[in-house]
Amino acid sequence: MTDTTIQVAKTILAQLGGGQRLNVMIGARDVLALPSGGVQFTHMRGIRGANKLCIELDQNDTYTVQFWKIRGLDCTKLSEVSGVYADSLARVVEWGTGLALHL
What pLDDT shows up at residue 103? 64
Model pTM score: 0.90
Q: Tabulate helix, strand, coil % of the chain (nearest 5).
A: 30, 35, 30
- Contact between 50 and 69 under an 8 Å Cβ cutoff? The reply is yes
In a domain, 74, yes or no: yes
Distance CA 58, CA 43 (A): 23
Total domains present in the chain:
1
pLDDT digits (tens, 9 = 90+) for 79-92: 999 999 999 999 99
In a domain, 103, yes or no: no
pLDDT digits (tens, 9 = 90+) for 38-80: 999 998 877 778 899 999 999 999 999 999 999 889 999 999 9
Q: Which domain holds residue 60?
A: 3-97
